Structure 1
Amino acid sequence: MTRAAAPDAAFEHRSFGAPGAERTVVVLRTGTATLSDPHPDVTARRDVRILAVALTVDDIDDPAAYRGTTPAEATADAISQFIAGEGHDTPVGLVGVGAAGELAILIAARLGAGVDRLALVAVPRPESELGGHEVAELLAEIDAKALVMNAGSDPDAAAAAARWFQERLSSARVEMVPRTSDPEGRLILADVWERVLSHAAPGTVR
């Protein structure tokens, strides 16, 4: 396990799972649990290395009126370079959760063939028409097989949001989760971690 500031970037990361595994999955989240293993028992059953990247709200800020490089673009540049170095010329799986979902989309578009699997978990659709147009353009550039997982009771990312992303991705499967462990109905990564790993790291069951 490692926990350190990523080289030449202002974000922390933690590595867990199987250190020498050929398959790497990068997880982008915000909040207090960004560097934790979503479900250690599930992770232990797979021959995969997980890189959890800690993000703050400032890291993913992308105001439409901002002149020059936005904070989100700068973060995407740094993490894209980091992933390219950690992937060792092998495609990785990428997981974006909640508010970090749009950043995951930006990174997947920039890395191209460097990301072959993308999972969007509880990601709300863009709030503005301008933001939606920009995200739609990025989604059109992504060839990775995508999985969109939302909860029907999620106040921000329910079925309509899932359909919005599916319609704009070249290869996407939507799976709605009927029940969550969150009292507000939000989808928690730990609840679907096994399914997310089966998509982002296929064929890695020990």
Structure 2
Amino acid sequence: MTRAAAPDAAYEHRSFGAPGAERTVFLLREGVSTLSDPLHDATTRRDVRVVAIGLTVDDIDDPVAYRGTTPAEATARRIAQFVTEERGDRSAGLVGVATAGEVAIQVAALVGDGVDRLALLAVPRPESELGGHAVAELLENIAAKTLLMNARKDPDAANAAARWFAERLPSARVEMVPQTSDPESRLVLAEVWERVLSHVAPGTLR
């Protein structure tokens, strides 16, 4: 595994899985466990390298603005550059979780065909009409096959949120998780990580 700062940014990243794998998956999360392997057994069963990029609340702040660059947009640009450099001449998978989901969407749009599989997990829909319009424009231009996973009783990102994103993506599949171990009914990444990997890293089972 490796752990270092991403180029031209203060973001730490950590790689796990198979170092020399042809398939690379980038994982974007915010919180205390951003650099951990969501489920080690599931990761090691695949010939895939997972690069977890740690984000903070400040990195993903995306206030509505008519001009200028928000922190989330600046973050997305730097991570898109990092993804492009790390993936080389191969397409990659990208996973955005909860509040980091909109950054993942921006990265996918910036990298273009370089991201061929995208997974958005428990991502809440934009809070404002203006923010929703901006995200919708990005979604319409994302060609990656996208998996939307949400917990049915998630207080912030349940079925309505999944449906909002699905209606605006060219290629999307929605999967609702009926029960989770979280007392607040939020999606638990470890519990769905094997399914996520099967989408963003297809054909890599050892």
- Output the TM-score relative to the length of structure 2: 0.98
Identity of aligned residues (%): 75
How do residues 42-191 of structure 1 correspond to structure 2 at under 5 angstroms? 42-65=42-65, 67-191=67-191
Describe the SS at the equivalent of 1:133: helix
CA distance in 1, matches of 2:196, 2:16: 16
Please report how far the alpha carbon of residue 66 of structure 1 lies from its aligned counterpart in structure 2 after TM superposition.
6.9
Alignment deviations for residues 107-161 of structure 1 (CA, whole Å, 9 cap, x no partner) = 0011110100000000010111111100000000100000000000100000000
CA distance in 1, matches of 2:115, 2:199: 13
CA distance in 1, matches of 2:108, 2:168: 14
Please report how far the alpha carbon of residue 78 of structure 1 lies from its aligned counterpart in structure 2 after TM superposition.
0.7
Aligned length: 206
Pairwise CA RMSD of aligned residues? Answer: 0.8
CA distance in 1, matches of 2:35, 2:56: 12
Structure 1 segments, 4+ long, off by >3 Å, are none
Alignment match, 2:203: 203
- Output the TM-score relative to the length of structure 1: 0.98
CA distance in 2, matches of 1:126, 1:65: 14
Describe the SS at the equivalent of 2:94: strand
Please report how far the alpha carbon of residue 65 of structure 1 lies from its aligned counterpart in structure 2 after TM superposition.
3.1
Describe the SS at the equivalent of 2:59: helix
Where does the alignment leave 5 or more consecutive residues of structure 1 unmatched? Answer: none
Please report how far the alpha carbon of residue 62 of structure 1 lies from its aligned counterpart in structure 2 after TM superposition.
1.3
Where does the alignment leave 5 or more consecutive residues of structure 2 unmatched? Answer: none
